[in-house]
Every structure is written in C-alpha cells, then in structure tokens.
Structure 1
Amino acid sequence: MRDFLSLALQRQSDRAFDATRPVEKEKLERILEAARMAPSACNAQPWHFIVVDDLELKNQVADATSSKLIGINHFTKQAPVHIVVVEESVNLSSGFGSLVKDKKFAHVDIGITAAHLCLAAEDEGLGTCIIGWFNESKVRKLLNIPSGKRVLLDIVVGYSLQPDRPKKRKEKDKVISFNSYE
C-alpha cells in the first residue's frame, strides 16, 4: 500500500477502460471488503453492493447509465465491472438521528463507502468512476432490486486506459479555515 496522500492524489475519475482485460476476482474481493469495512452512522451499514460482471447484463446496465440526449456516460460499456450501490434501511439509532438532525446519514455513509471502494481500487491498480446519472427504474428492473429500494450509485471498475491528468481543485484558502468560517 502506498502512503495515503499519494493514493488520494493518484485516484481520478476514469472514463476509458480496457474492455478486453477482466478484473481479477481477488482484487474485487479486496476492494469490496474495504467498502464493507467503511464507517457508518451508528454502524447502520446502509448499503448493498451488486457486482455486475456478466457481459450481457453489464452492457444493459451501462445502457441505463448513458444518455444520447445529453451525451454522457457512453464510456461505461468499456468497464468490465459495474458495482451498483443500493441504499438499505438504517438501524433505529441512525434513523432517529437523521430525523432529529435533518440529515440523511445513509447518503453520507454511502459516500464514505464509495470513497473507500474507489481508493482501494486505485491501490489495486484499477480505475473507477462514480456514476450518479442513470435510469434508476431500469437498473432496478435489470438487477431485481425491490421497488422500495433506492439505487444511489453505479461505480464502474476496470483497468484504466486514461492517462493521469492534473487535478483541478479550489485553492486551499477557499475551502479550509481554522477556528472560524472565513
């Protein structure tokens, strides 16, 4: 494992994958374990991961993520694996806290687990891209997800063909302050 800052600096949203190179099961198991071990409010663990690696089904899920109308996500068919993240019910403590504090802790928790998954994939030499734009009802139907469940993310995983690119981020003084909002 690399030092964490180097890992975080290296990780990028990849949009070009080697469609001919499958992801090894042992690598998938390690990145899923990293995601499973992510912290969550009141240890609710409000997630379920569906690994889609069957070629035909994966291509159907990819079709549900792309839009010809606005021209996005056409690269998702190249990725050999899609990991669909379904929101699960939270436990009583997390649900009560969400209600009292008017914060959707499950969504925060799923963001944390997605970050764990993507960083673990980067550490394994894999590229990822988190997809939030997709036809949720189509994905739900394709993967037999009950109608009462929310499909929050589709994380595509594979061997990246995209060259590293510099990160464009706001300057530190625009996003960090000490002891007061400035």
Structure 2
Amino acid sequence: MDIYEIINHRQSDRQYDPERPVEPEKIRRILEAARIAPSACNAQPWHFIVVDEPELRNQVADAVASRILGMNHFTKQAPVHILVVEERPNFTSGIGGLIKDKQFPLLDIGIAAAHITLAATAEGLGSCILGWFDEKAVRKLLHIPDKKRVILDIVVGYSTQPLREKKRKSADEVISYNKY
C-alpha cells in the first residue's frame, strides 16, 4: 500500500483475533518507525514498553478497562500492548516549551503514536490508541517509576473488525487558506 492507502485503512480497531500472535519482527519494525519519529529539538521524550506476555498483558488490559463505564474491555483480545511513557525533554525542547507555552513532549508522543499505528497498518495489523486507563496500576504492573507519566497504551493485533467508512468533518470545515 502507498502512504495514502495506509492512512485510509488505518482505524481504531476494537476487535482482534486473540489466537493469532503478532510476529516479533513486525513489532520491531513498528517500534523502529516510532523510534525515528521527529520530535522538537530531537528530544525523543518517550520510552516504549511492549507487553506481550499473556498473563501480564491480561493484567494491563484489566488496568485499561473500566468496569464502571464499560470501556476498553476489547483490550483483552489484543496480543500486544505498547505503553508510551513520557520522558524528560532535552534542555532546548524544555526551555522552548516554557517560552512558547507548548507541551512539546506530548506533541512528540502524538507523532510517535501516529507512526506506530500507521506502521501497524502497513504490517497488516490493527491498532487502537488508548488514553483512558488506571495509570497508577499500569505503573505498578510494569515497574515504572512513580514520577513518570504513562501517556498512552496502543494495542496492536490482527483485527477482525471490518474496515469502516470514516466519518469526518468536511474539508471546508477544517481547512482554510491564508486566513482562518
């Protein structure tokens, strides 16, 4: 697929084949796509934790699911969780963020997450980016220091969900030229 086909095929998948593991070489290529993502002042303010061991993966899925709201229970089906931990930016990015009142590490992590999901699509895999989870429980399960922020959990696996039509605002609503 070319890049535009990959973009059009990428969706937030919430159904996975729990019996089909993801090949390690595909995960390595996906992580390489994230590792080389651009970041403000080349800060690379991220650390990726791959969880694919079945028992730990189920524990992480429990921390990601909300019993009260009935959210994210599908994550038990996904064979891989990629947790994205925010790391300190380098000096230049940190100072630039203070001066310009922008959270460059979060922007950079968003770019890396896009690389992960697009690379997953290119590998024939589905993915879903999750920000709703019990961060304290995830930190404890994965031995992440208390002062670190777990920003995202990206689940990856072989999707069993059909490709959906994208429902987006029209181009006229979100694009303008030379003025707002």
Q: TM-score range by the shorter chain?
A: over 0.9
Which runs of structure 2 are paired with 1:151-166 in the superposition (5 Å)?
151-166=150-165
After superposition, the C-alpha distances for 1:97-127 in whole angstroms (9 at most, x for unaligned) are 0000000000000000000010000000000
User: Hey, what does 2:95 align to over in structure 1?
Assistant: 96
What is the distance in 2 between the residues matched to 1:82 and 1:127?
A: 12
The aligned counterpart of 1:33 is 32
SS at match of 1:58: helix
Please report how far the alpha carbon of residue 3 of structure 1 lies from its aligned counterpart in structure 2 after TM superposition: 1.4
Partner of 1:3: 2
* 1:45-77 residue CA offsets vs partner (Å, 9 max, x unmatched): 000000000000000000001111111000000
Question: Structure 1 unaligned runs (5+)?
Answer: none
Aligned to 1:45: 44
Percent sequence identity is 67
Q: What is the letter of the counterpart of residue 144 of structure 2?
A: I
The alpha carbon displacement at 1:14 in A equals 0.1
Separation of aligned partners in 1, 2:121 and 2:92? 33
**Aligned equivalent of 1:169:** 168
| CA deviations over 1:76-113 (Å, ceiling 9, x no partner) | 00000000000001000000000000000000000000
Deviations 1:27-60 (A, max 9, x none): 0000000000000000000000000000000000
Give 1:24's aligned residue.
Answer: 23
TM-score (norm 1): 0.98
Letter in 2 for 1:98: G
Report the equivalent of 1:83. 82
Q: Corresponding residue for 2:114?
A: 115
Kindly indicate whether residue 140 of structure 2 is the aligned counterpart of residue 141 of structure 1. yes
TM-score (ref. length: structure 2): 0.99
Cα distance in structure 2, aligned partners of 1:7 and 1:49: 23
Tell me, in whole angstroms, the C-alpha distance in 2 between the residues paired with 1:97 and 1:133: 28
Partner of 2:65: 66
The AA in structure 1 aligned to 2:7 is A
Residues paired across the two proteins, number: 180
Match of 1:54 in 2: 53
| Aligned alpha-carbon RMSD (Å) | 0.4
Deviation at 1:4, TM superposition (A): 1.0
Q: Give the 3-state SS of the residue equivalent to 1:163 in structure 2.
A: coil
Distance (whole Å) between structure 1 residues aligned to residue 112 and residue 122 of structure 2: 15
**Distance in 2 between residues matched to 1:7 and 1:82, nearest whole Å:** 21
| Distance in 2 between residues matched to 1:146 and 1:25, nearest whole Å | 27
Question: SS of 2:156's equivalent?
Answer: strand
